Amino acid sequence: MGQIKKSSADRIAAARAKGVPILEESGATDEPILRKVEKGTKKNYDMMMDFWDAYEITEPGSKPYNLKTSKHFMETYIAGSEGLSVWTVYQKWSDFLAGWQRRPGERQIPSVVSRSIYNFILGPMQVKYNLSMERREKVYLTVAHFNILMEHRWQKDWYQPKHLGTLVNDHALDLSSIYTSARLSEFLEMRYEDLEFGILRNKKGQATLGVIPTRNAKGFVKNPSRRPKHGLYEDMEPLFANPLLPFFAIAIANNAFRHYDSLESIFDIPAPRRGTVKILKFKKSFKNVPFFQRMSRDGPTGEPEKATSYHRRKVALGHRAGYIVNITTHAGRREVIVKVAEDGYEETASMKFSGHSDPDVRREAYASSLLVDGQSSYWNKERDGDIMDSFRGMSLQWHPSMIHSLPAKVQDDLRHRPDFVERHEEIKSLGERLKGLTAEAEVKEAKKRQQELRWKQRQAMSEELSKWRDIQQGDRDTDLEDTDLEDNVASRPAFFNRIRHLNPLRDKLASSLFKNERLRSPAGIEVLRDMIALYKEDVQVAYRPSSCPKNGCCPVCSKGMDQIKCGEEWDHIFRCRAKTLKQKYGFAELCFQCDAWVTSKAKWRTHCQTHLDDIATLPFLFNPLRFRKTLAAAGQCPFCIFNSALDPETRFKQFPYAQPWKEHINKHFTCLEQSCRGPDESKTFQCPDTRCGLSFDSVRGLRYHCHDSQGIDLIKFTPLKSRTRGKKRAIEANRGPKSEESDICFVNETVETLSSRDRFIPKDEVGGKSRRRRPRKHPTPISKAGSGVKMPLSPTVHGKRGRKKKRILYTASPAGSSSRSASSQSRITLSSTELEGYEFRQDCNDETTSLSSCSASIHHDASPDLKLGDGAGSESESEYELVESANHESYWVSRKRKRVTTPAQGVATRPELVIYV
Ligand SMILES: [Zn+2]
Ligand SMILES: [Zn+2]
Ligand SMILES: [Zn+2]
Ligand SMILES: [Zn+2]
């Protein structure tokens, strides 16, 4: 039907009929209407307006229209805040200007005021309050780093989302952000009507799938028809880089196509005529359905995924993969925009691609000077794009063996730290109080305080973790390629490998996704199917192939799985099977590693022996591990496994349940503790795993080590008040009598930089100059027991995964000279008499810091040749820490590391200098 033409008078009459009165009665005002702002932006405006209101109470009647008030207002803001940079304050002032303008009845702040305040911030305020001028370094997610992230997500990650479909969504979002330059939230609200799938004809004349998602780009909200669209297509290898894989998987999994309900039917569509596209229509009911849906435990919820959740997951993935800086969506966007510029697209095209409406913004924010290879231009040589990429990639530093949790000793120290204990006690007493409270306001208040305290605890932990990461990354300049770099705290990085056999889909994808295959090749289709299954998967319980239910029933006693208590499904089948096999054969043992039942004693003995002979089949982590309510790995005992005096079946004993395993392991530790009560204090405790080769001079040291690297997680870390001797430690199991002092040191550096033995001779000995120290009457021999952790002295030691590690150990000889040999915890130990005369000051406030129990102030010339790197602090600033050995006979001293800022790279860490005097 066409539109009926109306006369102007008719139109007015129609409006009146619809209820629009004459002007006088209409209530229209002269208030200007401002552009609608987004939620986050509004929040920022509100925050500054809130601050103004509070300020106005102290300065009644003041208005920011004059410079005097505005200056005072902003100075109050700056002085009242901490850690501000000039650029943050700039932003705050802009927010205030915008917020003020939006206040009913107020007019715009004159531009002479608003402009002056910017200069006021950058000038006098910057100087007066020493505002930082640093801008966060721009991060470019180059191809190399993107690959690392993908490998981590699909091959190593220990993160378990509520539903694995989240992985498919995130994969699609990650790819679309790097292929289309989308900002964080621009695809998240996409509905099915915002994207189109089609079949195209490629150069070779083959049919190829394509998708055109439309971005809800910033600045185009008002102009939906001009929103940037991007063509993504199927011809892309390897499979993990194929954008159609996740996009298509999501659409198929939701059964969204109107005329096609299977992969085959779509892949069978022949290539259309050259230049034309066969569009695949969605079902009408899908028009308003969000494409990326938030996942609950039961699958897609129908709600769009939240930008904050996706952002958080993305940043966390980067951290887990070994990056300290946050890798955000913008890092990929920045890189692709640079690459597009490099490919020489004309300006309008690349503006449209990046979704910019202002060319200056684009140039300013995304141009990278690292695009230009001046060297090659000068010599008329071809530009080396790879090198330029690597330079940009330097904005991201990858630490493949970054620790993800604190070493046991550090955690143990933390729980004794007074602030920690205090917060813990307060949380506990608040919990008690909450039980008795009924008034809503009081409950709210107490809960808020509890949350705040918990946050502080976590914050303190993460601060400690970053401190440890710094230490760990001290000399990580070698073998970055070596993926087998061992992790100090092994349980998380090892998780995926321990459970993958119970998660067949992810197990398969970990390798198949990285194949160089077309999407419609048999391998590609298999991956696509696995992706779809992952998206639809509804698995709460995993089963071992040896004990799967049959038609929803126990394969042995036919009891329905739904009649079995949730969480005991696998357990039931396992017990049922064991019982019947035992009745039939008199013996039944399941090898959890091979997932095979062995039904005779002799065969079991041979089976165990086979494992024991092949050291590669023995676990590195020994704790029992459950995944989706099924035992993924049985607990074993490293003390028994490596004890060749025992029977094979005793050595290879498996513990399906945690409690017996804990008791068994604890018995070993207790035995060790009792064994050192005797007169022989110099006893050392070998790591039971013979592949490891470390030994410790206390059982506690061994416990920490086993906790960190063998998954023997028996130490509990609840904050404890005092560390008094003899007092029984409540929670943790039998710590033994020798557990008072910190006697192991977690510093992982080598002291290769300090090669000369003279460096370890105090100056007064070298130069004959006497200082506060008394001359030694006779050299004190250093007993082996003097060192904290004893190491085998061979020049190279095989790491626990067979990798050669460089280890250097300095052992002080009687004359105070040093020899050098192997150890990762390098140290010089001197007897207490050798340290006599130095001022050692016990730092009461610092009693439980992670590195040591004491802090020592030693003059720097205790190690005269120690060279400080460029930019390091002055000598007097050097701090040392003194650690006393368990038997109180010797000490070692370590220099605290320093952070220095180099102008080129922002904050960098200077290679560590740790010296043990
Ligand atoms: Zn049964
Ligand atoms: Zn086996
Ligand atoms: Zn044992
Ligand atoms: Zn070990």
What is the whole-number distance in angstroms between the Cα of residue 659 and the centre of ligand 3? Answer: 14
631 CA to centre of ligand 2 in angstroms: 15
> Nearest ligand, CA of residue 554?
1
**With 50 as the cut, is the pLDDT of residue 145 above it?**
yes
Residue pair 502/630 in contact by the 8 Å Cβ criterion? yes
Query: Count of CB atoms within 10 A of residue 517's CB?
Result: 18
Ligand 3 centroid, distance to 99 Cα (angstroms) = 68
| CA–centroid distance, residue 698 to ligand 4 (Å) | 14
Secondary element (H or E) of residue 812: strand 809-812
Which residue would you say has higher pLDDT here, 674 or 525? 525
**Looking at the predicted structure, is the pLDDT value of residue 678 above 90?**
no
| Residue 773, SS3 per DSSP | coil
Q: Among 294, 290, 289, which residue's Cα sits nearest to residue 312? A: 294
**Contact (Cβ atoms closer than 8 angstroms) between residue 95 and residue 106:** no
Q: Using the predicted structure, report yes or no on whether residue 634 has a pLDDT greater than 90.
A: yes
Burial (0-12, 13-18, 19+ Cβ within 10 Å), 99: buried
pLDDT at 870: 30
Distance between Cα 160 and ligand 1 center (Å)? 29
More confident residue, 740 or 498: 498
Q: Taking the CB of residue 587, how many other CB atoms lie within 10 A of it? A: 14
**Most confident stretch, 472-486, 610-624, 702-716:** 610-624
Task: Give ion ligand 3 contacts, CB < 5 A.
Answer: 637, 639-640
Ligand number, closest to the Cα atom of 660 = 3
Output the CA 618–ligand 3 centroid distance in Å: 14
Ligand in nearest proximity to the CA of 641 = 3
pLDDT tens sequence across 522-576: 999 999 999 999 999 877 788 888 888 888 889 888 888 888 888 888 889 999 9
Q: Would you tell me the crossing angle of helices 504-512 and 522-536 to the nearest 10 degrees?
A: 140
- pLDDT per residue as tens digits for the range 167-197: 999 999 999 889 988 888 788 888 999 889 9
Taking 70 as the threshold, does the pLDDT of residue 488 lie above it? no
Tell me the mean pLDDT in the region 825-846.
Answer: 35
Distance 486 CA to ligand 2 centre (A): 25
User: Cα(710) to centroid of ligand 4, in Å?
Assistant: 7
Q: Compute the distance between CA of residue 160 and CA of residue 537 in angstroms, rounded to an integer.
A: 14
State the distance from the centre of ligand 2 to the C-alpha of 736, rounded, in angstroms: 35
| Poorest-pLDDT segment among 30-34, 378-382, 494-498 | 30-34
CA–centroid distance, 653 to ligand 1, in Å, is 25
Report CA(708)–ligand 4 centroid distance (Å): 9
Of the listed ligands, the closest to the CA of 556 is 1
Cα separation, 278 vs 285, whole angstroms:
21
Q: Of 372-376, 468-472, 508-512, 785-789, give the lowest mean pLDDT range.
A: 785-789
Alpha helices in 254-384 (DSSP H): 263-267, 307-321, 329-342, 347-354, 359-366, 374-378
Task: Provide the residue type at 53 as one letter.
Answer: D
Q: Which residues are found with C-beta within 5 Å of the ion, ligand 2?
A: 591, 593-594
CA 584 to centroid of ligand 2, rounded, Å: 21
The answer on pLDDT for 390 being more than 80 is yes
Ion ligand 4 neighbours, Cβ < 5 Å: 687, 689, 692, 694
More confident site: 197 or 913: 197
From the CA of 808, how far away is ligand 4's center (Å)? 18
Retrieve residue 213's tokens: 């998602």
- The vertex-588 CA angle with 586 and 593, nearest 5°, equals 165
Across the range 698-719, mean pLDDT stands at: 83
pLDDT at residue 795 greater than cutoff 90: no
The CA distance from 190 to 94, in Å, is 31
Section 384-403 average pLDDT: 84
The pLDDT, as a whole number, for residue 672 is 87
Q: How far is CA 8 from the centre of its chain?
A: 66
pLDDT grade for 479, boundaries at 50, 70 and 90: very low
Task: Tell me the Ramachandran region of residue 255: left when phi exceeds 0, alpha when psi lies from -120 to 50, beta otherwise.
Answer: left
Q: In this predicted model, which residue has the larger pLDDT, 912 or 13?
A: 13
Asked if 189 and 345 count as a contact pair (C-beta separation under 8 A), the reply is no
- In three-state secondary structure terms, 299 is strand
pLDDT value at residue 407: 83
Residue 651 clears pLDDT 90, i.e. is over it: yes
Phi, psi of 200 (to 5 degrees): -115, 170
DSSP string, 181-237: ---TTTTTT-BGGGEEEEEEE-TTS-EEEEEEEB---TT-TT-GGG--B--EES--S
Question: Under a CB-based contact definition with an 8 Å cutoff, are residues 404 and 320 in contact?
Answer: yes
pLDDT at 617 over 70: yes
Gap between the Cα atoms of 538 and 551, Å rounded = 17
Alpha-carbon gap, residue 557 to 572, rounded angstroms: 10
- 493 vs 145: CA distance, rounded Å: 19
3-state class of 762 per DSSP? coil
Residue 15 half-sphere exposure toward CB, CA atoms < 13 A? 11
Distance 620 CA to ligand 4 centre (A): 9
| Ligand 4 centroid to residue 688 C-alpha, Å | 7
Q: What are the structural domain ranges in the chain?
A: 39-129, 143-393, 408-485, 549-740, 757-909
Question: What is residue 34's predicted lDDT score, i.e. its pLDDT?
Answer: 78
Rounded to the nearest angstrom, the distance between the alpha carbon of 152 and the centre of ligand 2 is 29
The letter for the amino acid at 719 is P
CB 251 within 8 A of CB 210: no
Cβ atoms of 344 and 361 closer than 8 Å:
no
Confidence of residue 219 (pLDDT cuts 50, 70, 90): low
Ligand 3 centroid to Cα of residue 773, in Å, is 50
Which of the pair, 58 or 842, is modelled with greater confidence?
58
Residues of the chain with pLDDT > 70: what percent? Answer: 74
pLDDT higher at 811 or 379: 379
pLDDT digits (tens, 9 = 90+) for 403-420: 888 888 888 888 888 888
Give the percent of the chain with pLDDT over 90. 29
Report which of 89, 189, 104, 178 is spatially closest to residue 141, judged by C-alpha positions. 178
Check if the beta carbon of residue 469 is closer than 8 Å to that of residue 403.
yes
Which ligand places an atom closest to the C-alpha of 607?
2
Using the mean position of ligand 3's atoms as its centre, give its distance from the Cα of residue 663 in Å.
Answer: 10
Q: How many CB atoms lie within 10 A of CB 567?
A: 13
Asked if pLDDT for residue 20 goes beyond 60, the answer is yes
Average pLDDT over the chain, rounded to an integer: 75
Ligand 4 centroid to 889 CA: how many Å?
25
Q: Is the backbone of residue 554 left (phi > 0), alpha (psi -120 to 50) or beta?
A: beta
The answer to whether residues 141 and 331 touch, using CB atoms and an 8 Å cutoff, is: yes
pLDDT score at 700? 86
Which numbered ligand comes closest to the C-alpha of 665?
Answer: 3
pLDDT on residue 906: 30
Instruction: Determine which of 24-28, 707-711, 839-843, 885-889 has the lowest per-residue pLDDT on average.
Output: 839-843
- Ligand 2 centre to CA of 686 (Å) is 27
Region 712-716: mean pLDDT is 78
Strand, coil or helix: what is 489? coil
Q: Please, where are the H alpha helices in 18-156?
A: 23-26, 39-58, 67-80, 86-101, 111-120, 126-129, 143-151
| Tens-place pLDDT, residues 45-70 | 999 999 999 999 999 888 999 999 99
Under the banding of pLDDT at 50, 70 and 90, the label for residue 108 is confident
Q: How far apart are CA 655 and CA 750, in angstroms?
A: 38
Distances 899 to 292, 493, 754, 851 between C-alpha atoms, Å? 42, 28, 19, 17
The yes/no answer on whether domain 143-393 falls in CATH 1.10.443.10 is yes
In this model, does residue 133 exceed pLDDT 60? Answer: yes
Q: Which ligand is nearest to the CA of 664?
A: 3
Identify which of 334-348, 621-635, 902-916 has the greatest average pLDDT.
621-635
Q: What is the pLDDT of residue 859?
A: 29
CA angle 305, 310, 315 (to 5 degrees): 180
Distance CA 353, CA 698 (A): 63
Tell me the torsion sign for CA atoms 524, 528, 530, 531: positive
| C-alpha closest to that of 749 among 616, 913, 622 | 913
Q: How far is the CA of 707 from the centre of ligand 4 (A)?
A: 10
Q: Specify the pLDDT at position 615.
A: 83
Q: Which of 521, 505, 515 is nearest to 234 (CA)?
A: 521
| The pairing of beta strand 195-201 with beta strand 278-280 | antiparallel
Q: Amino acid letter at 252? A: I
Q: Are 811 and 838 contacting, i.e. CB atoms less than 8 angstroms apart?
A: no
378-386 mean pLDDT:
87
Give the ligand with the smallest distance to the CA of 666: 3
C-alpha angle 482-487-492 in degrees, rounded to nearest 5 = 120
Q: Going by C-beta distance under 8 Å and a sequence separation of 6 or more, which residues neighbour residue 346?
A: none
Cα-to-centroid distance, 564 and ligand 1 (Å):
9
Question: 585: CA distance to ligand 1 center in Å?
Answer: 18
Tell me how far apart the alpha carbons of residues 835 and 93 are, in angstroms, rounded to a whole number: 58
Please name the residues in contact with 588: beta carbons below 8 A apart, sequence gap of 6 or more. 577, 578, 581, 582, 597, 598, 599
CB count within 10 Å of CB 359 equals 12
Give pLDDT, residue 474. 59
**From the CA of 799, how far away is ligand 4's center (Å)?**
9
In the structure, what pLDDT confidence band is assigned to residue 868 with cuts at 50, 70 and 90? very low
Q: Which residues have a Cβ under 8 Å from the Cβ of 216 and sit 6 or more positions away?
A: 185, 186, 187, 189, 190, 194, 227
693 CA to centre of ligand 4 in angstroms: 6
522-536 and 244-253 helices, crossing angle to 10°: 50
Q: 593 C-alpha to center of ligand 3: Å?
A: 18
Residue 101, pLDDT score:
87
Of 4 and 177, the one with more pLDDT: 177
